[in-house]
Amino acid sequence: MAKIMIQGTASSVGKSVLVAALCRIFKQDGYKVCPFKSQNMSLNSYITLDGKEMGRAQVSQAYAAGLEPQVYMNPILLKPSSDRKCQVILNGKVYGNRSAMEYENLKIKFKDMLKKQFEELENKFDIVVMEGAGSPAEINLRKNDIVNMGMAELIDAPVLLAGDIDKGGVFASLAGTMLLLKDDEKKRVKGTIINKFRGDIEILKPGIDMIEDIIKIPCFGVVPYRKLDLEDEDGAIEFNKEVYDKIDIAIIKLPHISNFTDIDALRNEEDVSIRFIENIKEFKNPDLLIIPGSKNTIEDLMYLRKSGLYKAIKDYSKTGKVIGICGGYQMLGKTIKDPFKVETDKGEIEGLGLLDIETTFEKEKVTTRVKALENVENEIKENYVYGYEIHMGISSYGKESKPLFKIIEENGEKVQILDGAINEKENIMGTYIHGVFDAVYFREKIINLLREKKGIDKKKSKIFEHLREKELDKLADIVRKSLDIDKIYSIMGMKGPEK
């Protein structure tokens, strides 16, 4: 089996997207290819068909490879709950909450597991495209590293080092990274990639010649800056704050915001502007307000109070439209109880009181893939939504609450479970289903209601998955034209397809 690893000079240099591009290129060339990131730190996660949790970046890479996402693509997921603590997800299941130092000491135990799991991939795939995390030059983490050079050494993988020229200082970052690597690590780096370039490449060429002479490593190509509707690394997302189209959809940017990929499908809608707000001044008067998921719902609810957004949301809800997803749905209720101190030492907190529900945090996390119908009398089978649930809380209905959806399938099994809630005026609603806007029906219904209110003609929504496939092909085309793919095949010990 062939393998290649993309490492970066820093976080957010575009490693995730480059891995996705290579996965799609190798797939187009007729190879069975798989993405792999041994350890991912992200609050954007996903639930697989068998009810296991993994990072969203590897989900996108799996789609690029033409595969159903599986946790072996991301064995370790770290979900920060504070500056010093995170929840450790091991092979799709909660391992426990650990401090940074506690996790650092745990890494040694995971090495044998990672090596064994990677070796199992050798029997399934022709090529594995690996992704590092942060930078291999984080020398304070070198001793127990299991995601950059430590992982590359574990399975003897060649490395391409990517740098982001859009932020400036790409040559210094490439040279500085190489300077801090050990001699055996330097030998693993077979080439560099300059990513996110804008401008005339002829002006860049003298710099490329000089950096090749300084670090003695060839540049495999320059990838231009591109605007594609694809998921990127957490730190690379642009939290736009301006209204740029007719319909203004505002998202509360919570301190512990998670799964903000839930709104990706909305970005593809005509007339729609997506912006994030953090304070009262930015609130204004949106056509739709979304309160997204949170890794620490109670602390984020307290933040809403301190920032004044709590009152702003309640005032807006009298005439505006509000949708809460997962943690955002819990915040819309009357109370949130945490008897087992799952999130904080605060046992109970008052919610926004916009939906007649109460939430209690349990010890076990719910992780399910679901399919649901809108909870209406004359249900139409085509009017379904699909997605996944990741939450610790269980919400109970009060007398004035009406369920929003009826889940009919859970991890492939037929069920009849109520989900979410909607108020009598139908302007406040919430759900536990992440990805609720991916399905054409619900997204089209919501956006057309907003269009109708503003006197804009209704439109048909497009299938999100079809749009994603087109964008992945565009990405592969850009990267194939930008990089020396033959050289990449060569360092993997392959000839590549005949042209």
> Could you list the active site residues?
326, 434
Total residues found in the chain within this entry: 499
Neighbours of 422 (CB within 10 A): 20
Token pair of 490 as six digits: 């060569």
**Secondary structure E strands in 306-449:** 322-325, 335-337, 348-350, 357-374, 384-397, 405-410, 413-419, 421-422, 428-431
Three-state DSSP class for residue 458: coil
Q: Which residues contact 269 (CB under 8 A, 6 or more apart)?
A: 247, 443, 447, 459, 461
Q: Which residues contact 37 (CB under 8 A, 6 or more apart)?
A: 19, 55, 57, 58, 73, 74, 130, 131, 132, 133, 147
CB 142 within 8 A of CB 150: yes
DSSP-assigned beta bridge partners for residue 273: 248
Token pair of 186 as six digits: 């330097």
Give the rounded distance of the alpha carbon of 404 from its chain centre. Answer: 25
**Helix extents (H) in 129-225:** 149-155, 170-180, 183-188, 201-215
DSSP-assigned beta bridge partners for residue 374: 405
Distance set, CA 214 to CA 165, 208, 338, 395, 427 (Å) = 18, 10, 57, 60, 61
**DSSP secondary structure letter of residue 456:** P
Token pair of 95 as six digits: 């391992």
Three-state DSSP class for residue 127: strand
CB 470 within 8 A of CB 477: no
User: Rounded to whole angstroms, how far apart are CA atoms 398 and 414?
Assistant: 26
User: Rounded to whole angstroms, how far apart are CA atoms 46 and 65?
Assistant: 17
Of the chain, the end-to-end C-alpha distance in Å amounts to 22
User: Rounded to whole angstroms, how far apart are CA atoms 116 and 13?
Assistant: 29
